Amino acid sequence: MPRPVTIAERIERAHILDRPITALSRTVVRALPAGSRADALHGVPFGQPAHPALVRLPLGCWTSAVLLDVFRGSERAARVLVAAGVLGIVPAAATGLADWSALHRDQQRVGMIHLGCQGVAGLLFSGSLLARAGGRHGYGKALSAAGLLCASGGAYLGGHLALRLGAGANHADQVSHLSGLGWHDLGPLSSLPEGRAVRRQFGYLSLLVYRSPDGVHVLSDRCAHLGGPLHQGRIVTERGGACVACPWHGSTFRLADGRVVHGPATARQPSFETRVTKGGLVQLRPRP
């Protein structure tokens, strides 16, 4: 038998999934245009993806129900847990689809099978609930056991997606630990074009630098969502302030402080304080 990680890696390269992925992804994007609803599903108000937290509810309820099935006299409690898990898959699926639609293709392939496993598990547990309600407790327990097995396989693929492929992780360069080093020279102000984002190198860090009439704004150039080059993005005005929209998936950050304005990114983009010396030299330091 191949190891689970081998199966997951094969799924990453399963091009046969690309056609249904394209169709489903387009449907999700049309149904969830950029805005407050999509931001809520991504988890922007919470500062981290909402899906990992919500998916624990159905899996935890279903695991507890299967364990209770071992003991006599626990049919009612097990039935309540199965029902709670079935209800919990609705918000978990909604947040998962929102995040999945803004991933790279190899990530989407694994996510597609993850979604399929959890969908089959939901059907099996729904069947278990109907069987239990009809008095066929043995059949209901068997369906629950099969559903938990399927859900566990889907959970493994979810872990592979998050931990091996980096979906949902913060991909921005971390700079806060450099704040104690003080001010550093970036370059002359005259070398920065006004009203256009440019890329500058600061040691090992790539930076987005934007010069505007009210000052110089600097963010880490690697988008927190999946590492896209922010300096290639569009400069837009959102909520009364200048922002940059990532060219890959549209994550939008406020240039003044890196705050997330629109997802799918949920983590604040690392930003820098700047000042201009009397000699016209731009200096910066990471915000603590």
* pLDDT-based confidence at residue 93 (cuts at 50, 70, 90): very high
What is the arithmetic mean of pLDDT over 52-63?
Answer: 94
Q: Are 251 and 262 in contact (CB under 8 A)?
A: yes
Both tokens of residue 252? 């939008």
pLDDT over 90 percentage in the chain: 80
Q: Are 272 and 219 in contact (CB under 8 A)?
A: yes
pLDDT digits (tens, 9 = 90+) for 44-55: 999 999 999 999
Strand order in the sheet with 205-212: 184-188, 281-286, 271-276, 215-220, 205-212, 197-202
Query: What 3-state class would DSSP assign to 203?
Result: coil
What is the arithmetic mean of pLDDT over 52-79?
Answer: 93
State yes or no: pLDDT of 180 exceeds 90: no
Give the pLDDT score at 287: 83
Give the pLDDT score at 2: 76
Give the pLDDT score at 179: 63
* pLDDT-based confidence at residue 213 (cuts at 50, 70, 90): confident
Strands 215-220 and 234-238 come out as unpaired
State yes or no: pLDDT of 163 exceeds 80: yes
pTM of the predicted model as reported, rounded to 2 decimal places: 0.88
> How is domain 176-286 classified at the CATH fold level?
Rieske Iron-sulfur Protein (2.102.10)
In angstroms, the CA 247 to CA 143 distance is 45
CA Rg value for the chain: 24
* Domain locations in the chain as residue ranges: 4-164, 176-286
pLDDT digits (tens, 9 = 90+) for 220-259: 999 999 999 999 999 999 888 899 999 999 999 999 999 9
State yes or no: pLDDT of 202 exceeds 80: yes
Q: Are 175 and 274 in contact (CB under 8 A)?
A: no
* pLDDT-based confidence at residue 166 (cuts at 50, 70, 90): very high
Q: CB 198: neighbour CB atoms within 10 A?
A: 14
Q: For the chain, give the mean pLDDT.
A: 92
Cα torsion at 240, 241, 245, 251 (round to 10°)?
-80
Give the pLDDT score at 42: 94
Q: Which helix (H) or strand (E) holds 199?
A: strand 197-202
Strands (E), 221-269: 234-238, 241-245, 252-254, 260-262
Q: Are 207 and 218 in contact (CB under 8 A)?
A: yes
State yes or no: pLDDT of 78 exceeds 90: yes
